[in-house]
Amino acid sequence: MKIAIVLYPTYGGSGVVATELGMHLALKGHQIHFITYKQPVRLDLLNDNIYFHEVHVPDYPLFQYLPYGLALASKMVDVTKQYGIELFHVHYAIPHAYAAYNAKMILQEEGFNIPIVTTLHGTDITLVGSHPNYKPAVSFSINQSDYVTTVSESLKADTVTIFNIKKEIQVIPNFINITHDKTDFTDCNRKLLAKDSERIITHVSNFRPLKRIEDVIHIFNQIQKEIPAKLLLAGDGPEKEAMEQLVLDLALEDNVVFLGNTNDISKLLCFSDLFLLPSEKESFGLAALEAMLYKTPVISSNAGGIPEVNKHGYSGYLSPVGAVDEMANNALKILKSDEILKQFKLQARKQAAQFNVTKVVPIYEALYEKALKNK
């Protein structure tokens, strides 16, 4: 199949999932065209069947805001005609589902019929998409998609509650590649960041308020009072400066490392003992699943779709949002004993295996085939 995948190219989970999906489909022989405004962070272009089309939005003095959605729809039209694209798969509703609808309408005028699959990822529904300024357009474009998927049962329920959705929604969970594990590289060297006696605790996110990074730091503060530990914070975003200040206020600067945006997440996770995800909202929690792949148990909130990923008492522990003391106690339950830590590490990995790419990608392929058959 010839598929155009529209995505955000940055560090967010939706872009990562879309990129990994496209690369896996390309390995299976499909021709995949990524369309977005810059090269996606995890995209390896040096592979067969992979194309990247950059959307440029020319500036003009009249524009206070650049019309990205318009430029994207035009690019989708051009790429479809040039390469014979058969289907659009758009990740994150805003503005991708709306641009896809526009592209489809333009192409229809010229005799092409291109089905749209829209995958909803979370904040496009629960945060941004439900804002009154976007809601009518998001609702319309979801209903105009030929097929709609969400990454968890929880997000499906939220979508149905927030919007008047007339489409059937199929849940297709996010995935990891189980063959990517600690044997991927030879430099899993924990000595670079911590002493042998210290437990390593990790958090990865885009540092937005809903990630509750202040909870991450307070949980860590309690842990390090009981056992030697280091906290690695990977990612960047609006909360970073305030969090650097909080670390100074709590006099934790010798034990907390801010790593910024990094592509080496697997290298961090390979020597991590625990992953913290206390988010206020989370449709799935791909970061937690990636941690579990690398045998890192997860202490998380029970928000949104996290309970579909992290299993309480098995791959880690879940607590209500904001229950910092409970999360710290649960972390210590795992970290204080080598035996218990080892057991949780193995269980985390087993739980991650439930979401292997080989189980999930065929579900998308079946959906594409159905879309092409019924178009």
Helices (H), 145-232: 153-162, 213-226
In DSSP terms, 34 is beta-bridged to: 5, 52
Q: Which is nearer to ligand GMT, 91 or 199 (CB)?
A: 91
Least distance to ligand GMT, CB of residue 115, Å = 21
CB 154 to ligand GMT: min, Å: 9
Q: Which residues pair with 356 in a beta bridge?
A: 176
Least gap, CB of 82 to ligand GMT (angstroms): 28
Q: Minimum distance from CB of 195 to ligand GMT (Å)?
A: 31
DSSP letter for each residue of 68-125? HHHHHHHHHHHHHHHHT--EEEEESSTTHHHHHHHHHHHHHHTT----EEEEE-SHHH
Q: How far is the CB of 206 from ligand GMT (least distance, A)?
A: 6
Question: Which residues pair with residue 170 across a beta bridge?
Answer: 149
Place of tokens 């210590």: 332
Closest among 130, 174, 176, 114 to 149, alpha carbons compared = 174
Q: How far is the CB of 315 from ligand GMT (least distance, A)?
A: 16
**82-107 burial: b if 16+ Cβ within 10 Å, else e:** eeebbbbbbbbbbbbbbbbbbbbeeb
Nearer to ligand GMT, 114 or 303 (CB): 303
CB of 11 to ligand GMT, least distance (A): 8
β partners of residue 54: 36
Residues 6+ apart with CB under 8 A from 157: none
The CB-of-211 to ligand GMT minimum distance in angstroms stands at 7
**Residue ranges in contact with ligand GMT by CB under 6 A:** 12-15, 17, 92, 121-123, 151, 174, 206, 210, 281-286
CB of 2 to ligand GMT, least distance (A): 24
Q: What angle do CA 287, 125, 365 make, to 5 degrees?
A: 65
Q: Which residue minimizes CB distance to ligand GMT?
A: 122
As given in the structure block, the two tokens for residue 101 are 């609808």
**Which residue lies nearer to ligand GMT by CB, 122 or 278?**
122
Give the C-alpha separation, 175 to 359, whole Å. 8
In the chain the beta strands, taken as DSSP E runs, fall at 2-6, 31-36, 50-54, 87-91, 116-120, 147-150, 169-171, 199-204, 229-234, 256-260, 274-277, 298-301, 316-319
Residue 147 or 284: the one with the smaller Cβ distance to ligand GMT is: 284
Tell me the sheet residues that pair with 201: 231, 274
Those residues with Cβ within 8 angstroms of residue 65's Cβ, 6 or more apart along the chain or in another chain: none
Q: From the CB of 13, what's the least distance to ligand GMT, in Å?
A: 3
